[in-house]
Each structure stands twice: as C-alpha cells, then as structure tokens.
Structure 1
Amino acid sequence: MKKDDNAFGVEEAADSPGFLLWQVTSLWQREIRKALEKYDLTHSQFVLLASTMWLMQQGEPVTQILLSAHSKIDPMTTSTVLRTLQTKGLLERKEHTTDTRAKTVALTTTGEKLARQAIKTVEQFDTDFFQALGSKLGDFNKKLRLLLQQ
C-alpha cells in the first residue's frame, strides 16, 4: 500500500481535521473539568448556568427550550441538568405564565454568585488555553461559527 493510498484519504493522522478536533476537544474538556471542580459543577451545568444568566439579562423569560437551543444541549439533557442545578439550590424552575407546556428558569442569588465566579474562571482558562493562537483567535472563532451553521 502506497503512503497516500489509505482508507482515510490523509497521509498522517495529524492531517485529519476530525481527529485533530477530537484531540483538542478532549484536552480542552479535561482541563475545563479541572477548572470547574472547585465550584462542584460539570461543564454542562456551567454552560446552562452561564446561559441562564446571559439570557436573563436580555429581559425575556428564560425557558428550558430556549436554554436548550442557545446552548446546543438536547432538551432531555437540559431538563436533567436543570433538575440537578435546582436540587443544588442554584436555580428555580416555575410554570410559564402563558404557556402551560413550558417552564421558566431563573437563577437563585446563590446560583448567580456561583455563575459569576465560574465565568471568570472559565474566561481566564480560555484565555490561557487559546493564547497559542495569538492574533489568529478571531479567525479561529469565525471558522468555528461556520462549522456550527451546518
């Protein structure tokens, strides 16, 4: 078998964008887990807490479906994670005032305080993790957004 004649269509594993993305994502997830340990939060819990806070600041009622769409976490997982956050006393879920099928979500005072602290930690982690990209970070983010639109 010739070097360029393989089932993957790339010469080296390091040339596979999917494999590279998987490796970087695995490294990033492992390190972000460590950064969030001191808050007793999983990454999904953090994303939903931070998303709830951001959406609350927009002035609209925050629903589980809105959170799911915003975070790109499937609705069933969103519901499960929100239930855990509610048990931890970090947010409240209530019946929607006009849509009986929907639940609204709001951070408690404790949840907002924890979210603010965790956001600072995650932002600093991201700054440190992605610093190797330097001035190319904006272009990198733009290309990631392109992939999200598929």
Structure 2
Amino acid sequence: MSEDAPGPTPGFLVWRLANKWRAAVDRALAPLGLTHAQYPLISSLYGMRYDGERPSQRQLADHTGMEALYVSKLARALESAGLIARTRDPRDPRAVQLALTEEGEAVARRAVAVVRELVDRSMEPLGGLDSSRARAFTDELTALLDVPLAPLPPNDGTTQGRTP
C-alpha cells in the first residue's frame, strides 16, 4: 500500500484479484489435468481452429500475451500429455506449429465450459456478465491492458518502499 493514499492501491487490488483468479482457475481445471497457465494455450487453440488456423508458437505467444519461451515450455508439457501436436511449419522450418489433438479438443471443450461458468459466477457481484457494470469493468480492464508498461530504472527513488 502507498503512504500517499489510505487503503489499498489499484495495483495491489489488481495483483490480489489476479492471484484469486489464478487459484480459482487452477482448482477448477485440476480435474481435467490442466493448470491456469496452460488454459490460455488450450482455449486459444480451441478457438483458432474454427478459423482454420494452426498458429506457430510465436503467434500463440503474441495472441496470449505470454513470453514465447514460456509458451514453448507449456506446449512441450501439453504435447507430453497428448493434448497438442507440435510440428514444423512447412513454410518456415524454424517455426513450430501447434494444434489440438483429438483428446486435446475434448479437454479444451470441457475446460472452456468450466472457465465460462467461473467467469459467470465472478461477475455476479457486478450484476452478471451481460450487465452494464460488467461491460464497463471489461472496458476499464482493456484500457489498462492497452497501456504499455516499461520498467522503471532501478534505484531511481520512485519505486522504493512502495507496493504495486
């Protein structure tokens, strides 16, 4: 918390909400053998297949906002679990394309339904997912995500003694 304002800062609340969400998704997806970190890959591949896309790891990293190296690590784990297939892109031998396996598609379908239910329950305090408050909240989150955040230089005096 900041010394400048009483109560928690917006950054602290976002951090707490992100941790609460991660824990809830981890618990909800555990019976399917998935983690919160794996869900964006599985659900994105599930959605992209409708457009006939078979994205590269780099494209999936850009789509999810995750680091490419982390996507690669998660993709290898999902491949070992039999949920996705990783193949070389015939147009670019350096690129690896990703696609759900048949089992991966079945797991993704169930995972998407589980997380949708979790989203619905989490939006109830705002009047439900289709409420004007939930839409405004989504717009505010989108605005915050659109702001590029470059790290501050270390030891510049502005970051010492503060929490997010």
Report the TM-score, using the length of structure 2 for normalisation: 0.83
Task: Specify which of 137, 142, 161 is matched with residue 140 of structure 1.
Answer: 137
Q: C-alpha distance in 2, partners of 1:105/1:28? A: 26
Q: C-alpha distance in 2, partners of 1:106/1:59? A: 10
Q: How far has the Cα of 1:8 moved from its partner?
A: 3.4
Residues 56, 62 of structure 1: 8 Å contact kept: no
Q: C-alpha distance in 1, partners of 2:105/2:3? A: 47
What is the DSSP-based 3-state SS (H/G/I as helix, E as strand, rest coil) of the residue aligned with 1:9?
coil
What is the DSSP-based 3-state SS (H/G/I as helix, E as strand, rest coil) of the residue aligned with 1:102?
strand
The residue aligned with 2:43 is 50
- Are 2:32 and 1:32 equivalent residues in the alignment? no
Could you tell me which runs of 5 or more consecutive residues in structure 2 were left unpaired when the two chains were aligned: 148-164
Residues 46, 118 of structure 1: 8 Å contact kept: yes
Q: C-alpha distance in 2, partners of 1:129/1:61? A: 32
Matched residue type, 1:87 = S
21-30 or 105-114: which moved more? 21-30
- Are 2:124 and 1:131 equivalent residues in the alignment? yes
What is the DSSP-based 3-state SS (H/G/I as helix, E as strand, rest coil) of the residue aligned with 2:48?
helix
Matched residue type, 2:70 = T
Q: C-alpha distance in 1, partners of 2:135/2:88? A: 40
Task: Specify which of 68, 77, 86 is matched with residue 75 of structure 1.
Answer: 68
The residue aligned with 1:108 is 101
The residue aligned with 1:3 is none
Which one has a larger percent helix, Structure 1 or Structure 2?
A: 1
Q: How far has the Cα of 1:7 moved from its partner?
A: 5.3
What is the DSSP-based 3-state SS (H/G/I as helix, E as strand, rest coil) of the residue aligned with 1:101?
strand
The CA RMSD over aligned residues, in Å, is 1.4
Q: C-alpha distance in 2, partners of 1:46/1:23? A: 20
- Are 2:38 and 1:41 equivalent residues in the alignment? no
Task: Specify which of 84, 87, 92 is matched with residue 91 of structure 1.
Answer: 84
Give the total of aligned pairs: 143
24-33 or 39-48: which moved more? 24-33
What is the DSSP-based 3-state SS (H/G/I as helix, E as strand, rest coil) of the residue aligned with 2:87?
strand
Report the TM-score, using the length of structure 1 for normalisation: 0.90
- Are 2:6 and 1:8 equivalent residues in the alignment? no
Q: How far has the Cα of 1:22 moved from its partner?
A: 1.4
Could you tell me which runs of 5 or more consecutive residues in structure 1 were left unpaired when the two chains were aligned: 1-5
Moved over 4 A (4+): none
